[in-house]
Amino acid sequence: MANEKESARELQGLIARFLSKIWRFLERAWNLGVSEPKKFIHCLKVGLALSFVSLFYYMRPLYDGVGRNAMWAIMTVVVVFEYTVGATLYKCINRATATFLAGSLGVGVHWVAGQSGENYEPIILGSSVFLLASAATFSRFIPTIKARFDYGAMIFILTFSLVSLSGYRVDELLTMAQNRVSTILLGTSICILISVLLCPVWAGNELHLLVNSNAEKLADSLEGCVAEFFSNGIGNTSNEDSSKKLQAYKCVLNSKGTAESLANFARWEPAHGSFNFRHPWKQYLKIGAAMRNCGFCIESLSSSINLEVQVPKSLKKNLGDICMRLSSHCSQVMKELAATMKTMRKYSTTNVLVGEMNFAVLELQNALKSLPNQLSQIGAKGEQTTTEFIVPFIDILPLATAIFLLIEIAARIEGIVDAVDELADLAEFKPAIDEQSKQSQSTSDKTDDDTMKALQKV
């Protein structure tokens, strides 16, 4: 009895743990759907597309028209329906084009092989598969083709091999190829219509938001790292949110693959929203590269916070205000660039902020020139032995590193400004009316209204 009770308790505990894991999984899935509803909607769109294609199996008139090849339409929907419109168009166009070309070549090769006699037919078929498959595979190593037509090259190899090596006669092979192409076109058409018409997720818009978000993350990380360095260290982070802001630059460093993928898919999308058909998506990659260069410096600055060597408080106090002022100006420039990206408008205050940042750099450089005098004063307080005089120089290394990194960050931010300005010229951003212009405009309008009222009274 005791053994049976113990076994029952173990079984109940096992079931309870299993149900607890299922509940935690469902809870995480629910939180994901709430935080990112676009992904939940995408799942519904895929299910809807498969339901439409399945009607060709369930309904007799449609089944008689398409035949058993309707299964290829279902496979097409499963394979090509992607999260963004650009990715879906990329796969649909590649799959349809590659299937048509491979099917046409396969039928042609079969006809030539059939006219050559039984002795030469296997030689022609095998040679054609070898040559075309080798050429298509080699094309996948070419960067331009790999970026845009890699999926199409793979489908071409698969389709041509299946068609050319089949044992059908030419007339039956032609019918099979026609049915295959028609069902694939059916599946791709349904995917494109649902992807574009129902809550579309544009790759170009996602890339635009990614670059804008990266600019804001760099601004927060830079300002937070400098503030933390000139306080008591990274261990005194007030809360979890501030800690995430300090580490936000890591998202920028890891965004290269996502940005390149989104830029590639964005080229396939039609004009939408504020983006024209030939929007300069490549320029976003240049901006992303400039941001990553800045992010590497912020990473080095963040790592210098954790050094065990303590900088003298007197030097921190003397140079801290200037460094904090420079980081504030750098952060303002990055936030201004983020606003430029978000609104797609040119702000006249950007050049002013860049000038203030450069002036802060000059102030920091001048303060750095006076650093040897401060070190001499620190060394003069102790005995004039060589060892005791060298100690302050060792202690000053983290501070000097942080200062040089700040100056380098400011220089790299200017590179980001140039890249954003180039994007503004290529995409023809319109000038924005800043707050001062709005106030002056409203003041002038009010003055004109008062003048008109006065004239009317007269």
Q: Give the whole-angstrom CA distance, residue 81 versus residue 95.
A: 12
Residues 180 and 112 in one domain: yes
pLDDT at position 381 is 52
Spans in the chain with pLDDT lower than 50: 233-237, 382-390, 435-458
Residues 6+ apart with CB under 8 A from 330: 219, 222, 223, 357, 406, 409, 410, 413
- Angle ∠(305,413,401) on CA atoms, nearest 5: 30
Q: Residues 55, 56, 58, 62: is their CA dihedral positive or negative?
A: positive
Tokens linked to 40: 């939940």
The DSSP annotation for 362-419 comes to: HHHHHHHHTHHHHHHHHHHTS---HHHHHHHHHHHHHHHHHHHHHHHHHHHHHHHHHH
Residues 290 and 425 in one domain: yes
pLDDT at position 452 is 41
pLDDT at position 161 is 84
Q: Which of 197, 221, 239 is the last residue of a domain?
A: 197
Q: Give the whole-angstrom CA distance, residue 122 versus residue 118.
A: 8
In a domain, 119, yes or no: yes
Q: Which of 165, 197, 229 is the last residue of a domain?
A: 197
pLDDT at position 69 is 64
Q: Give the whole-angstrom CA distance, residue 321 versus residue 227.
A: 10
In a domain, 1, yes or no: no
Residues 6+ apart with CB under 8 A from 442: none
Q: Which of 197, 212, 232 is the last residue of a domain?
A: 197
Helices 386-426 & 313-343 angle (0-180, nearest 10): 10
Contact 388, 379 (CB under 8 A): yes
Q: Give the whole-angstrom CA distance, residue 148 versus residue 143.
A: 9
CATH number of the structural domain spanning residue 337: 1.20.58.220
Residues 128 and 241 in one domain: no
- Bridge partner residues of 346 (DSSP): 431
Q: Give the whole-angstrom CA distance, residue 276 versus residue 429.
A: 12
pLDDT in tens, 58-84: 665 555 555 566 777 888 898 999 999
In a domain, 453, yes or no: no
The kind and range of the H/E element at 329 are helix 313-343
pLDDT at position 236 is 45
Domain extent, residue 303, equals: 203-378+390-431
Residues 233 and 168 in one domain: no
Residues 20 and 145 in one domain: yes
Q: How many domains does the chain have?
A: 2
pLDDT in tens, 287-306: 999 999 998 988 888 877 66
**Type of residue at 28:** R
Residues 266 and 400 in one domain: yes
Residues 208 and 285 in one domain: yes
Q: Residues 269, 95, 107, 175: is their CA dihedral positive or negative?
A: negative
